[in-house]
Amino acid sequence: MYPHFGEFIKSKSLQDRVIGNEAWCQSFPHCLVTHLTQIKSDHSLLLVNITPNFKLPRGRPFRFLAGWTQRQDFPNIVKNSWNYSGDMFSSLNQLTAGLKVWNKNVYGHIGFRKQKLMKSLSSIQMKLERSYSYSLAQKEMNIREELENVLSYEELLWKQISRCGWLKLEDRNTKFFHNRVMYKRNINRITALRNINGDWLYDPEDIQEEAINYFQKLYGERPSRLEKLPPSRFPPLENSDIDFLQ
């Protein structure tokens, strides 16, 4: 931008940057760069904090994971967890609770589960190299199949989180999706906020309070009235869909 100062034109542009390669971003995924106050130069000193004190958000919203549909028992889980009693909100909460329990029992922490399977596979392969056993060979085949399912689920999970729909799932692109997620999280993270008085807030609790106050004033001055949606605007369900939900 070029703000005018009398007969002079002062050219200003944000040229101070910190550059890091892929290895750096993976080693310090939460690093924070702060531009310090300019004193004698028209450039700012850069303060790089590799271990900022971020508080992880709690109570993340429920998300349907695409990898669930790969399991053959998933339709039965939905049928057993779904019980429509006339209250859609309560029925969805019941379904959500059932899916959360099922996901925890089947997949758990996907990273730990993958690591455990790989250790088991490596141990069995070492035993097979010393002495062949049909039971061990069968066990190796079962673990390979289970590990393949976990890897496919992990890839779909990272692809969904990264919201990258243009890349086809041919080879394992988990690393690419993971890096994309880390980049999006850093871009979307709010580390500072300027209030109406022009003061900068850096404490997470102060930022949260300022955001709540802003939206309360924005939407709380004129209470809105929610009208019932006309049922004719929505297409009716097919008989097969009704049977599935029941």
Residue 59 burial (10 A CB sphere; 0-12, 13-18, 19+): exposed
pLDDT digits (tens, 9 = 90+) for 101-141: 888 887 777 778 888 888 888 888 888 888 888 888 899 99
Model confidence at 196, in pLDDT bands (50, 70, 90)? confident
pLDDT digits (tens, 9 = 90+) for 18-71: 888 877 777 787 777 777 777 777 777 888 887 776 665 565 677 777 778 878
Model confidence at 72, in pLDDT bands (50, 70, 90)? confident
User: How many whole angstroms from its chain centre is CA 68?
Assistant: 16
Picking from 110, 77, 109, the residue whose alpha carbon sits closest to that of residue 96 is 77
Q: Rounded to 5 degrees, what angle do the CA atoms 171, 172, 174 make?
A: 145
pLDDT at res. 3: 42
Locate all alpha helices (DSSP H) within the chain, ordered by sequence: 22-27, 74-81, 88-106, 110-130, 134-162, 174-188, 204-220, 239-245
CB 207, CB 189: distance < 8 Å: no
Does the pLDDT at position 75 exceed 80?
A: yes
